[in-house]
């Protein structure tokens, strides 16, 4: 997947002009890189990613709120994990960063609203309380 080259240099040198880009640089860039390509077999690419580009961003929101963990296997004994960001990012920050990710590196998905994030956060809290 070709990456939108216009978004790469500003992130690499810290020139960011949107709230979503700032959250990305502070919370996502270390693993998913400034070009959104991630690290093969370790951190998934965000460029062209089906979860990023889905019409319904619910699973992507859930992933940011709750994190994810790959199982360890015989050939990859160290489990790889994405931390949960629900404890440190507000609904607005999550909406901003996901809107940024869904609109860059060749992605063309719709914006994520604060209301969408709030709805998923509430569902996550209810699930956690039930367990």
Measured distance CA(70)–CA(80) in Å, rounded: 5
Domain CATH for 110: 1.10.760.10
**Ranges of H-type helices in the chain:** 8-13, 19-27, 29-32, 50-53, 58-66, 91-102, 114-130
In 3D, which of 87, 95, 80 has the Cα closest to residue 24? 95
Q: What is the pLDDT at residue 16? A: 79
Asked if 59 and 112 touch (Cβ cutoff 8 Å), the reply is: no
d(CA 90, CA 41): 29
Domain that holds residue 118: 5-130
In this prediction, residue 4 carries a pLDDT of 57
CA 12 from centroid of its chain's CA atoms = 18
- pLDDT for 109 equals 97
Q: How many domains does the chain have?
A: 1
pLDDT in the model for residue 71 = 76
Tokens of 8: 């790469």
pLDDT at residue 79 in the model:
75
Give Cα 112 distance to the centre of its chain.
12
pLDDT at res. 2: 55
Q: pTM of this prediction?
A: 0.87
Which phi and psi (to 5°) does residue 63 adopt?
Answer: -60, -45
pLDDT, block means (10 residues), the chain with 131 residues: 59 78 93 89 90 96 92 75 94 97 92 98 90 79
């Amino acid at each position: 997947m070709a990456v939108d080259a216009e978004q790469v240099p500003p992130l690499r040198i810290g020139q960011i002009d949107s709230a979503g880009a700032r959250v990305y640089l502070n919370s996502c860039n270390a693993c998913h890189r400034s070009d959104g390509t991630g690290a093969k077999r370790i951190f998934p690419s965000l460029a062209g990613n089906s979860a990023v580009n889905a019409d319904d961003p619910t699973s992507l929101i859930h992933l940011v709120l709750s994190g994810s963990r790959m199982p360890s296997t015989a050939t990859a004994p160290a489990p790889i994990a994405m931390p949960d960001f629900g404890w440190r990012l507000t609904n607005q920050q999550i909406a901003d960063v996901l809107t940024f990710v869904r609109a860059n590196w060749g992605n063309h998905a719709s914006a994520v609203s604060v209301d969408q994030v709030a709805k998923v956060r509430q569902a996550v809290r209810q699930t956690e309380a039930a367990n």
